[in-house]
Structure 1
Amino acid sequence: MTLRQVCQDGNRISLLDCVALSGLGEEEVRAIAGHLLELLNVPHRHLRKHPEACPAVHPWSAVF
């Protein structure tokens, strides 16, 4: 099973899963996760400051 398949199934994966599936070391996976969290917070902070930029309808929510 690939990392993409695991994520598409809606499951959460552990750090050990990430290490095993990626072939990277634990520190590398942790570093990537840290950067990813920073990147995910950018739009969150922007929308908190600019609520008018948030769409009234969220069609992608139905997917989840």
Structure 2
Amino acid sequence: MPQKDPPAPAPDFQNPPGPHPATTSEAGSFAYAHCPCGWRGPSRRSRDKARQDATAHAQQR
């Protein structure tokens, strides 16, 4: 009987490899950063601070 290769590990969708493409969105008068990995930054009145949150998250990886 031929041997089969072991199955590949399941992808980790919560922590994908490589850079995280964090972006910002707006909800009313607030902006927040979010990422496909599930991370979401706090709501901010300052769009600049939301962008800084996104940059900081991307650099943590």
TM-score normalised by structure 2 residue count = 0.33
Greater RCO, 1 or 2 (C-alpha within 8 Å, sep 6+): 2
More strand, by proportion: 2
Q: Which has the larger radius of gyration?
A: 2
